[in-house]
Amino acid sequence: MGVLQKLSELNLVIKYRKQLKPVLTSYLHFFENTETSVWGSITEDDEQGIKHAVVQSGKHKGPIVEIGALFGHTTNLLASMKRTGVILITVENFTWNPFSLPPEVHRQFTMRTLRYALEHCSTQVFDGNAADFYLANGTLKPSLIFIDAGHDYESVRKDIDWAVSTGCPVISGHDYTVAHPGVVKAVDETFGNNISLYGSVWIHQRRECE
Ligand SMILES: C[S@@+](CC[C@H](N)C(=O)[O-])C[C@H]1O[C@@H](n2cnc3c(N)ncnc32)[C@H](O)[C@@H]1O
């Protein structure tokens, strides 16, 4: 690499230093913590939990709802595991991703990743806030709700409250770990010991449905 090119790159780094800081911080976090999260998505242990939740939900009628798609990894997993014809709705507002991609780029990336599921696996994206989805779907009764959006206590609390209000028989979510005390607090408050854990995926099954 020539000196001029190096200088031009240095210039870019200086020019975009504000944008680069969160990218680097997030990159190094996920680079160092591969055992608990794969770049904001699930680990192989977590996958077993999602597979288990989908199997349990298969005994019931109703769509599967995912809150928080990110790049569509769990959406694709749910789509690949569910019975043919069961509707899968994933709710995503494109406000966070580990690479600080702008929302429109994040959206494009995710929609392309989900192309097969959207076209062939009865899968839909609700492009918006979870709160708006809840308002618009007061009478929905899903067979499975998978919660993995905002990880602060208030967000998880609202997601779980809506999930419980629907009467959904299998409610599950990601990141039940010390790194996410808000998730642990909201889950414990609602379900106590009545959850199973697979990696950091928690699953609650309504008692009469077990
Ligand atoms: C941890 S990521 C989801 C990871 C994904 N389930 C996976 O394992 O591949 C959280 C996602 O939730 C989205 N999100 C956060 N708050 C949200 C909200 N209030 N409504 C909808 N989506 C939200 C973020 O944009 C982000 O893409």
pLDDT, tens only, 18-47: 999 999 999 999 898 888 888 899 999 999
Distance, in Å, from the CA atom of 106 to the CA atom of 68, rounded to the nearest integer, reads: 13
Q: Which atom of ligand 1 is nearest to the CA of 128?
A: 21
We find that the CATH architecture of domain 44-209 is: 3-Layer(aba) Sandwich (3.40)
Upper half-sphere CA count for residue 143 (Cβ side, 13 Å): 18
User: Which residues neighbour 123 within 8 Å (Cβ) at sequence distance 6 or greater?
Assistant: 75, 79, 87, 88, 89, 90, 114, 117
Looking up tokens 């419980």, which residue turns up? 164
Write out the residue limits of the CATH 3.40.50.150 domain(s) in the chain.
Answer: 44-209
- Per-residue pLDDT at 210 exceeds 60: no
Say how far apart CA 133 and CA 139 lie, in whole Å. Answer: 11
Residue 141 falls in which region: left (phi positive, over 0), alpha (psi -120 to 50) or beta: beta
Residues 63/163, Cβ–Cβ less than 8 Å: no
Instruction: Please state the φ and ψ torsions of residue 2, each to the nearest 5 degrees.
Output: -75, 165
Q: Could you give the C-alpha distances from 180 to 41, 55, 177, in angstroms and in order?
A: 14, 26, 5
**Ligand 1 atom at shortest distance from the alpha carbon of 129:** 20
User: What residues does ligand 1 touch, defined as CB less than 6 Å away?
Assistant: 40-42, 68-70, 73-74, 91-97, 129-130, 148-150, 174
Percent of the chain at pLDDT above 70? 99
> Tens of pLDDT along 110-162?
999 999 999 999 999 999 999 999 999 989 999 999 999 999 999 999 999 99
Q: Which of 44, 67, 71, 162 to mutate to test the pocket of ligand 1 (most atoms within 8 A of CB)?
A: 67
